[in-house]
């Protein structure tokens, strides 16, 4: 079953965040993931959720998504993202 990482973020330091944007696609590809939505400004239809930017990454299954999250080589990039953005990240399984 496919799995999705959903990232809701506001960029606080774009100059530094550009490094993350440039380097993270290599790690997504390494774990057989692909962008479904990449950094777009979404339109809120209902409720009070109002992300500034939204990213959705698809993986073949939860194990590949978790391997991406646990990859020791990407941890410095995650720290960079956390330092340069205000973000929320979740992992969700897709439908059969």
- For residue 91 the two structure tokens come to 């992992």
Q: Which residues of the chain have pLDDT under 70?
A: none
Residue 71 lies in a domain: yes
Give the Å distances, CA to CA, from 11 to 24, 73, 90, 96. Answer: 16, 23, 18, 34
Q: Which domain holds residue 20?
A: 7-50+60-93
Q: What is the pLDDT of residue 96?
A: 73
CA 76, CA 20: separation in Å to the nearest integer? 9
Residue 1 lies in a domain: no
Query: Order of strands across the sheet with 34-40?
Result: 34-40, 53-59, 3-11, 85-93
Domain count, the chain: 1
> Taking the complete model, does pTM exceed 0.85, yes or no?
yes
CA 45, CA 29: separation in Å to the nearest integer? 32
């Amino acid at each position: 079953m496919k799995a999705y990482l959903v990232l809701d973020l506001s960029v606080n330091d774009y100059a530094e965040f550009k490094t993350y944007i440039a380097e993270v696609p290599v790690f997504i590809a390494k774990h057989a993931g692909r962008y479904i939505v990449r950094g777009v400004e979404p339109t809120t239809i209902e409720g009070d959720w109002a992300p500034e930017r939204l990213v959705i990454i698809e993986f073949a299954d939860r194990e590949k998504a978790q391997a991406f999250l646990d990859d020791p080589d990407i941890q410095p990039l995650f720290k960079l993202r956390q330092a340069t953005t205000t973000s929320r990240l979740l992992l969700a399984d897709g439908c059969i």
